């Protein structure tokens, strides 16, 4: 999965910001469909998140007949039946528990209407008045409406209504006839977003249909022409996601990743987030306050097996605000880009706003090589970073980049005072001392930065074994806790310990993982640790060693490759650096979905949007707050 640039950001910022519409979390599930598909009908049914996929266009270019039940909590797909006739580009709704599939077609638009029972039995309904494909369906007040479409001879501007599928009545006529519109309803009104025009171009028109008054009119415009998008009403707000657009010098339309919230009071279209994968012509349904986008077409028109969702979430910001949809909305993100020997700071729109070293902020005399971790300190006025392969620690002023302090001898490992060997997780304590894990020396040090003397040492030089409280087995994490103690991870034997800074053991527990990395406390008896392996894992546990949560996809886009740090953000998602996948990702714990990514999976680079083995990160909030490590200085 790659990141995608924001579409028409400048134009969108000029629009009025709504204080009432939440931004959206947009996620990519860690599992995929068994085969790529697009333009299928989706029927929500039964338990929340259970969807029935009907028909669709397969990668071979042929229409499908099958009906499959998809459990979005697991990705399990089960065949339940077949349509009476293959179809794609059909309109679909659920009325009274029965799925109704209108039109679509195989090689040409069809007037066939088909029913699909919850058990998968298909039936033929009364045919449409004329063939119709590329339409959209929506239910308002127990009535199904069919909007837009193409007959094979021309566009179908007439909006049709049915309550049973045995007869149809005309409701209104669209002033702008379109095919492939996105449709959703609020307060009894049907909103029609974009679509393809008669000349084959995506249109900007927003139309509204009033079924009671039997009227239709244009009420606004999208920021750019859009066809084949997905729309749904969530918490009383219409969200619009994806679609195909052609802007600027583009010769052909391409899928976009934009997510918008539509303010019906002001008729404003406000940016609310970004899909992880740009897609158009996806199967669409709302279930459990999520808008699902199943399959669809990616760049070049190829069908995809990806499944995504959109969910309103105020923790991801306010629709229309810069940064809307970011899991670290309102914060700055510091990334230790180890393989590129640099630190980056991103704003919540994903733009690089600071880098180190730079022309105006040269590296320290000891060099800046292989920064393994980096944390904001001193209320956001400085950064402390350990250079693992340089055997040094450095503190630099932020944002000037001036070197304030350093410790160690560059590329000269040792155990003597002033020396380190592969230092990890350097933190500033509240009392001004510095703690650092020194794994190759089998110890954790507490250092007085003024005199550079070691005040306390936990572990014995050269004795890497779990033997509390005397010896540590290659410690690689030493997170400061709110009680003033340290949370230490030992690679050898996979142990997690709490120690006082003077070396007294508080508790220790063995975890059933391979390589613990950088543990964090996230609750009174809840801890988080990365399992640095392939495929890697996120593990939540308690002091008894019980695993409370594990995220470890074995395949697919969610598969991790040596993740070394995971933290719980204020937005409720896990953020981690996925080191050997060359990316930062944020994971929604409830779905396992990737809801944000920076970097291109498995493709290292230095250009904006690229990373090279990132190994540490931190966030900085208003007033210099550091919510993921509040116990530091």
- Residue 45 binned pLDDT confidence (cut-offs 50, 70, 90): confident
Residue 327 lies inside a defined structural domain of this protein: no
Torsion of CA 167, 156, 123, 306, to 10 degrees: -140
Residues 174 and 307 in one domain: yes
What is the chain's alpha carbon radius of gyration, rounded to the nearest angstrom? Answer: 28
| Residue pair 103/131 in contact by the 8 Å Cβ criterion | yes
Residues 118 and 54 in one domain: yes
**Quick one: pLDDT at residue 19?**
56
Q: What is the CATH number of the domain that holds 393?
A: 2.120.10.30
| Residue pair 534/441 in contact by the 8 Å Cβ criterion | no
Q: Who contacts 247 (Cβ-Cβ below 8 Å, separation ≥6)?
A: 7, 8, 224, 225
Residue-level length of the chain: 633
State how far Cα 124 lies from the chain centre.
40
DSSP string, 89-151: S-EEEEETTEEEEE--BSSSB---EEEE-TTS-EEE-PPPSS--BS-EEEEETTEEEEE--B-
Map tokens 């003024």 to a residue. 450
Q: What is the CATH number of the domain that holds 54?
A: 2.120.10.80
State the number of CA atoms in the 13 A half-sphere of 452 facing the CB. 13
Q: What percent of the chain stands above pLDDT 90?
A: 93
Residues 120 and 183 in one domain: yes
Residues 172 and 296 in one domain: yes
Residues 427 and 278 in one domain: no
In tens, the pLDDT along 175-187 reads 999 999 999 999 9
- Picking from 281, 312, 343, the residue at the C-terminal end of a domain is 312
**Quick one: pLDDT at residue 20?**
86
State the number of CA atoms in the 13 A half-sphere of 328 facing the CB. 33
- Residue 12 binned pLDDT confidence (cut-offs 50, 70, 90): very low
For the chain, give the mean pLDDT. 95
Residues 344 and 302 in one domain: no
**Quick one: pLDDT at residue 6?**
36
Residue 559 lies inside a defined structural domain of this protein: no
| Residue pair 180/131 in contact by the 8 Å Cβ criterion | no
In angstroms, the CA 247 to CA 295 distance is 24
Residues 378 and 282 in one domain: no
In tens, the pLDDT along 92-126 reads 999 989 999 999 999 999 999 999 998 899 999 99
341 has pLDDT over 70: yes
The single-letter DSSP state of residue 599 is S
Per-residue tokens: 24: 């959206």
- Using CA atoms, how far residue 398 sits from 115, 408, 430, 566, in Å, is 63, 21, 18, 24
Residues 356 and 304 in one domain: no
- Residue 136 binned pLDDT confidence (cut-offs 50, 70, 90): very high
Burial label, 465 (beta-carbon count in 10 A; 0-12, 13-18, 19+)? middle
Residue 543 lies inside a defined structural domain of this protein: no
| Residue pair 127/78 in contact by the 8 Å Cβ criterion | no
In tens, the pLDDT along 378-425 reads 999 999 999 999 999 999 999 999 999 999 999 999 999 999 999 999
Residues 396 and 366 in one domain: yes
| Residue pair 289/234 in contact by the 8 Å Cβ criterion | yes
Residue 508 lies inside a defined structural domain of this protein: yes
- Picking from 282, 312, 342, the residue at the C-terminal end of a domain is 312
In angstroms, the CA 517 to CA 489 distance is 6
Q: Where are the beta strands (DSSP E) in 339-474?
A: 342-346, 352-356, 371-377, 382-387, 392-397, 403-408, 424-428, 434-438, 443-448, 453-458
424-428: strand order across its sheet: 424-428, 434-438, 443-448, 453-458
Residue 31 lies inside a defined structural domain of this protein: no
In angstroms, the CA 63 to CA 65 distance is 7
In angstroms, the CA 350 to CA 56 distance is 35
In angstroms, the CA 215 to CA 209 distance is 6
Residues 298 and 337 in one domain: no
Q: Which domain holds residue 337?
A: 332-516+601-624
Residue 563 lies inside a defined structural domain of this protein: no
In angstroms, the CA 225 to CA 574 distance is 35
**Quick one: pLDDT at residue 153?**
95
Residues 294 and 432 in one domain: no
Residue 323 burial (CB count, 10 A): 20
State how far Cα 486 lies from the chain centre.
31
**Quick one: pLDDT at residue 249?**
55
3 state SS of 13:
helix
| Residue pair 423/435 in contact by the 8 Å Cβ criterion | no
| Residue pair 286/293 in contact by the 8 Å Cβ criterion | no
In angstroms, the CA 365 to CA 382 distance is 18
Residues 305 and 390 in one domain: no
Residue 576 lies inside a defined structural domain of this protein: no
| Residue pair 433/445 in contact by the 8 Å Cβ criterion | no
In angstroms, the CA 447 to CA 444 distance is 10
Q: How many domains does the chain have?
A: 2
- Picking from 248, 280, 312, the residue at the C-terminal end of a domain is 312
In tens, the pLDDT along 287-340 reads 999 999 999 999 999 999 999 999 999 999 999 999 999 999 999 999 999 999
Q: What percent of the chain stands above pLDDT 70?
A: 96
Q: In DSSP terms, which residues pair with 79 in a beta bridge? A: 68
Residue 162 lies inside a defined structural domain of this protein: yes
Q: Residues of 178-215 as b/e, b for ≥16 C-beta within 10 angstroms?
A: bbbbbbbbeeebbbbbbbbbeeeebbbbbbbbebeeee
Closest-CA residue to 187 (of 211, 222, 219): 211
Peptide bond into 535 cis (omega under 30): yes
Per-residue tokens: 139: 């239910």
| Residue pair 214/208 in contact by the 8 Å Cβ criterion | no
Per-residue tokens: 508: 């220790």
């Amino acid at each position: 999965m790659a990141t995608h640039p924001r579409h028409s950001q400048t134009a969108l910022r000029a629009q009025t910001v709504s204080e009432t519409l939440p931004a959206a979390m947009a996620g990519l599930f860690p599992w995929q469909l068994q085969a790529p598909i697009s333009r299928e009908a989706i029927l929500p049914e039964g338990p929340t998140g259970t969807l029935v996929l009907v028909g669709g266009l397969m990668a071979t270019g042929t229409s499908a007949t099958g009906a499959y039940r998809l459990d979005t909590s697991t990705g399990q797909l089960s065949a339940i039946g077949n349509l009476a006739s293959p179809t794609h580009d059909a309109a679909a709704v659920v009325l009274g528990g029965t799925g109704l599939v209108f039109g679509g077609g195989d090689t040409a638009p069809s007037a066939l209407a088909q029913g699909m029972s919850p058990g998968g039995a298909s039936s033929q309904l009364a045919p449409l008045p004329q063939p119709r494909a590329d339409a959209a369906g929506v239910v308002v007040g127990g009535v199904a409406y069919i909007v837009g479409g193409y007959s094979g001879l021309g566009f179908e501007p007439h909006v049709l209504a049915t309550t049973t599928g045995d007869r149809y009545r005309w409701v209104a006529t669209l002033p702008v006839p379109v095919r492939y519109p996105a449709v959703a309803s609020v307060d009894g009104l049907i909103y029609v977003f974009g679509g393809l025009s008669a000349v084959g171009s995506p249109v900007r028109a927003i139309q509204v249909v009033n079924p009671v008054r039997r009227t239709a009119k244009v009420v606004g415009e999208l920021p750019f022409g859009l066809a084949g998008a997905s729309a749904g009403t969530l918490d009383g707000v219409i969200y619009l996601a994806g679609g195909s657009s052609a802007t600027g010098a583009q010769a052909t339309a391409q899928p976009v990743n934009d997510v918008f919230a539509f303010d019906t009071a002001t008729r404003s279209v406000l940016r609310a987030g970004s899909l992880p994968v740009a897609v158009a012509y996806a199967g669409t349904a709302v279930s459990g306050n999520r808008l699902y986008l199943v399959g669809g077409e990616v760049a070049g028109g190829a069908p995809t097996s990806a499944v995504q969702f959109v969910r309103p979430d105020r923790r991801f910001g306010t629709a229309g605000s810069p940064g809307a949809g970011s899991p670290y909305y309102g914060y700055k993100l510091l990334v230790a880009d180890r393989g590129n020997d640099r630190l980056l700071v991103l704003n919540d729109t994903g733009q690089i706003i600071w880098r180190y070293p730079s022309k105006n902020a040269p590296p320290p005399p000891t060099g800046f090589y292989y920064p393994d971790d980096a944390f904001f300190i001193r209320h956001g006025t400085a950064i402390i970073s350990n250079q693992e392969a340089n055997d040094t620690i450095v503190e630099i002023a932020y944002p000037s980049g001036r070197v304030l302090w350093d410790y160690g001898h560059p590329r000269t490992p040792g155990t003597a005072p002033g020396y380190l060997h592969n230092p990890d997780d350097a933190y500033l304590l509240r009392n001004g001392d510095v703690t650092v894990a020194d794994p190759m020396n089998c110890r954790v040090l507490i250092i007085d930065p003024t005199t550079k003397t070691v005040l306390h040492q936990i572990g014995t030089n050269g004795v890497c074994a779990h033997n509390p409280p005397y010896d540590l087995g290659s410690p690689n994490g030493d997170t400061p806790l709110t009680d003033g103690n340290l949370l230490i991870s030992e690679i050898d034997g996979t142990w997690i310990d709490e120690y006082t800074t003077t070396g007294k053991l508080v508790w220790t527990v063995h975890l059933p993982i391979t390589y613990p990395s950088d543990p964090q406390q996230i609750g009174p008896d809840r801890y988080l640790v990365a399992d640095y392996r392939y495929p890697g894992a996120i593990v939540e546990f308690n002091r008894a060693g019980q695993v409370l949560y594990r995220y470890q996809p074995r395949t697919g886009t969610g598969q991790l490759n040596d993740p070394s740090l995971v933290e719980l953000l204020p937005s409720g998602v896990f953020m981690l650096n996925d080191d050997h996948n060359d990316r930062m990702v944020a994971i929604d714990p409830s779905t396992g979905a990737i809801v944000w990514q920076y970097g291109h999976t498995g493709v290292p680079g230095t250009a904006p949007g690229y990373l090279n083995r990132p190994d540490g990160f931190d966030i900085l909030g208003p007033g210099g707050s550091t919510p993921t490590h509040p116990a530091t200085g």
